[in-house]
Structure 1
Amino acid sequence: MNDITVLEALKQALRRLPGVGPKSASRMAYHLLERDREGARTIARALTDAVERIVHCKRCNNLSETELCPICSSNRRDKSLLCVVESPSDLVSLDQSGVYNGMYFVLMGRLSPLDGIGPDEIGIPRLEALLDEGSIKEVVLATNLTVEGEATAHYISDLVRARHIKATRIAYGVPIGGELEYTDRNTLARALAGRREA
């Protein structure tokens, strides 16, 4: 008999969330059913509403409730600057810093040939069309500092430079408040290589 119970289906659904294993999923399921059924209904309604109403911005690929997201429709942003990020959460982190006031493009991932993720899967054709519009003067590559993120940044920088657009990479190195003694050697090597005049 391989009929799955409603409770097991709930646990499996919760396991789809990042970082949620079998025990965490079970704890969440029991909490919602035993102590917070109204909370469970609120979550269900919010998820259904989000899945039905949130789409990708037609310009930058960010998540949005409208055809153009608030950033792309703003007249206060510098349209000559484009920051390329891997995910909507990366965009939010950068934008909340208050330092960057340009436009964005969200890849929704990074190149990973071993996983079958190539340029088409992360929206490179859409990015190229955006670059070909002619209004962008600089592309800031803000992919994560992983092997795949670095490969993605390198791939995009080649596309950008081929169009005679300036390509820059976010800086990386020792974090503020970090102690050299506890910083790994790769981070230290990059910090030394990227040093600037004091």
Structure 2
Amino acid sequence: MSSIDELAQIFRKFPGIGERQAKRFVYFLLKARPEYVNQLITEIQKTRSNTKICQESYQFFIADNQNSNTSFIARDPNRDKTKLLIVEKDTDLQNIEKMKVYNGNYFVIGGSLPYLAENPEQLIRINELRAIVEMKIKRDSLSEIIFALSATPQGEHTEEYVKNKLETLTKNNDLKVSHLGRGLSTGLEIEYSDKDTFEQAFRHRSDI
């Protein structure tokens, strides 16, 4: 395999990138000016070194100092800490933040579960979520957990799995558990939802 093919194989690991697009990336870089390629390498390395995973929300964040282990959202005293919104990935969180519809805290579960997954706890952050919920019940008087997962069969399966795993905690502490109301089209990922659609679904969320 040539170095061109090897680099294309690396690009194919990017989400949503097929063989043809991967090859386009490779040839674009081959034609690009050296200054651009060097800048790209530098920015990738800088982003990797300056980014951490928040120990409460599990979102990626740019650390303002090396001693910071939580994101600005998790630390913000103006957020409603009694609510916890569960999303699949960072891009979902970022899209919701842009809408300015929700002002509580988040938890990035890390993806969705395929049916018949043999080791679900290795695919999503279910153990970490349980620990955060326990902590927020004691520290923040957590009162509601809201599911904002993709309107897909896998998203629904993930919601059911997580809800069942949290059932003892939610029932023993009288927590409200809800999910987004109707409005999101079937198959739509939160990352691609618009403000009006999400706001309607959020305002009309229902208990589960």
Identify the TM-score tier after normalising by the shorter chain.
0.7 to 0.9
Letter paired with 2:93: L
Counterpart of 2:179 in structure 1 is 169
Identity of aligned residues (%): 27
How many residues are paired up? 176
SS state at 2:55 partner: coil
Matches within 5 A, 1:40-189: 40-66=37-63, 67-133=69-135, 134=137, 135-158=141-164, 159-160=166-167, 161-163=170-172, 164-173=174-183
State the distance in 1 between where 2:86 and 2:179 align: 10
State the distance in 2 between where 1:174 and 1:124 align: 25
Q: Where has structure 1 moved over 6 Å in runs of 4 or more?
A: none
- What is the root-mean-square deviation of aligned Cα atoms in Å? 2.4
Shift in CA distance, 140/115, structure 1 to aligned 2, threshold 3 Å: same
State the distance in 2 between where 1:109 and 1:117 align: 14
SS state at 2:162 partner: helix
1:15 is displaced (CA, Å) by: 1.5
Counterpart of 1:178 in structure 2 is none
1:98 is displaced (CA, Å) by: 0.4
Shift in CA distance, 36/23, structure 1 to aligned 2, threshold 3 Å: farther
Q: Which moved more, 1:101-110 or 1:45-54?
A: 45-54
Q: Which moved more, 1:70-79 or 1:46-55?
A: 46-55
Larger radius of gyration between Structure 1 and Structure 2: 1
1:61 is displaced (CA, Å) by: 0.5
Q: Which moved more, 1:52-61 or 1:116-125?
A: 116-125
TM-score, length-scaled by structure 2: 0.75
Find 2:13's aligned residue among 13, 16, 20: 16
Tell which has more relative contact order, 1 or 2 (C-alpha 8 A, sep 6+): 2
Shift in CA distance, 125/76, structure 1 to aligned 2, threshold 3 Å: same
